[in-house]
């Protein structure tokens, strides 16, 4: 006998109610018990705003830079400078006559290399030509020479730099400097009176240099500073026909301002200065370098990320001893 199961009453209504309750209960059960807030994953903090990097420029012409070249990179820079002597500086900071028409052409070549992180080494080899004409007869040579000229390699420079402190929002980049401001490769001894001093193209000393370079990006300005102390060791006897050197401090300031939208054109203003003093150890003979302060306005053009150019004119304003010059200068920098 086949068993008979009685049919439930109102089956469709109860089925629909159960189906609805199952859809409501299942998501709630899936969530499980609440997780204490201390164990919940915290949201990631907002990313800190990245400091804007300064734009690439050719850099100051006279002042030394602070930020080293990239590791393993090599750069070459050539300068062409023609100086017109407008007079001399007296020991009393006064302007006096130069005693003739004096000129100087200099072509330093600078080679820079980054051997390690935050480190830079560079060497400068200068070619110098001096000439004079229409010299005052009182200042002429022993055979009444009134014009003369001389050309040769001047004193070389070898400098190493290390970036001690990177730039922050409140602090400039600080780079330590050490090396030789002058290596006595230029002619500085047994000067020929008939050449009217034009054969003096060296300092006659090995000058030890130490100091710091500073850099700060104060948008939109790039500000550079250089403070060096130079201690020379004279290699020639104290005679009038030899060049002798003294201690001096170099203090330079420079500011760059990109003024086009693509930042390829840059205005540059530099203040350059050397400061010397006398003491009981000050050697006799020619004093080189002299105390000097001047300004140089210039303009830069960044052609590519490898090639940049700059041109300006340096004006010697005040000083003691030595000549007063106006010097147009042009330079090309190429990064390999």
- Res. 212 pLDDT band, cuts 50 70 90: very high
Give residue 3's pLDDT band: very low, low, confident or very high (50, 70, 90): very low
According to DSSP, the β-strands at 286-288 and 243-245 are parallel
Beta strands in 90-138 (DSSP E): 95-96, 101-113, 119-133
Average pLDDT on 33-61 reads 63
**How far does CA 199 lie from the centroid of its chain?**
31
Confidence (pLDDT) at 290? 79
Q: Looking at 56-60, 70-74, 116-120, 274-278, which range is the least confident one?
A: 274-278
- The residue with greater pLDDT, 20 or 189, is 189
* 218-243: average pLDDT: 92
Domains of the chain by residue range: 74-335
Q: Which tokens hold the place of 245?
A: 């050197």
CATH topology of domain 74-335: Porin (2.40.160)
What pLDDT, on the 0 to 100 scale, is given for residue 175? Answer: 97
Q: What does the alpha-carbon distance between residue 293 and residue 275 come to, in Å, rounded to a whole number?
A: 8
> What percent of the chain has pLDDT above 70?
81
Which residue bears the tokens 């500000």?
223
Q: Which residue has the higher pLDDT, 21 or 255?
A: 255
CA distance 61 to 307: 15
d(C-alpha 318, C-alpha 84), whole Å: 16
On average, the pLDDT of the chain sits at: 85
Q: Is the pLDDT of residue 213 over 90?
A: yes
Residues 6+ apart with CB under 8 A from 244: 204, 205, 234, 236, 238, 283, 284, 285, 286, 287, 288
What does the pLDDT average to over 56-69?
Answer: 94
What is the rounded CA–CA span in Å between residue 145 and residue 41? 90
8 A C-beta contact, residue 310 and residue 300:
yes
Whether 251 shows a pLDDT value over 50: the answer reads yes
């Amino acid at each position: 006998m086949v068993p008979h199961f009685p049919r439930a009453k109102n089956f469709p209504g109860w089925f629909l109610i159960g189906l609805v309750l199952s859809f409501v209960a299942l998501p709630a059960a899936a969530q499980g018990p609440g997780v204490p807030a201390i164990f919940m994953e915290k949201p990631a903090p907002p990313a800190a705003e990245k400091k804007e990097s300064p734009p690439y420029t050719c850099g100051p012409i006279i002042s030394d830079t602070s930020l080293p070249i990239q590791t393993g990179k090599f750069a070459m820079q050539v300068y062409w400078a023609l100086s017109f002597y407008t007079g001399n500086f007296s020991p009393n900071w006064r302007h006096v006559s130069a005693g003739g028409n004096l000129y100087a052409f200099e072509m330093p070549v600078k080679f820079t290399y980054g051997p390690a992180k935050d480190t830079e080494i560079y060497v400068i080899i200068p070619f110098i030509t001096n000439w004079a004409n229409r010299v005052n007869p009182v200042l002429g040579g022993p055979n009444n020479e009134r014009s003369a000229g001389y050309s040769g390699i001047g004193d070389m420079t070898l400098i190493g730099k290390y970036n001690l402190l990177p730039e922050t929002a409140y602090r400039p980049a600080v780079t330590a400097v050490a090396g030789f401001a002058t290596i006595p490769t230029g002619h500085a001894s047994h000067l020929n009176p008939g050449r009217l001093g034009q054969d003096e193209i060296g300092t006659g000393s090995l000058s030890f240099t130490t100091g710091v370079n500073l850099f700060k990006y104060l948008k939109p300005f790039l500000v550079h500073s250089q403070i060096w102390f130079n201690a020379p060791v004279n290699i020639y006897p104290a005679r009038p026909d030899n060049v002798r050197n003294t201690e001096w401090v170099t203090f330079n300031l420079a500011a760059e301002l990109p003024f086009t939208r693509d930042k390829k054109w840059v205005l540059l203003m530099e203040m350059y200065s050397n400061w010397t003093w006398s003491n009981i150890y000050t050697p006799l003979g020619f004093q080189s370098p002299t105390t000097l302060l001047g300004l140089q306005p210039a303009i830069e053009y960044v052609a590519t990320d490898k090639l940049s150019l700059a041109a300006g004119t340096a004006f010697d304003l005040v000083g003691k001893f030595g000549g007063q010059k106006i010097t147009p200068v042009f330079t090309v920098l190429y990064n390999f």
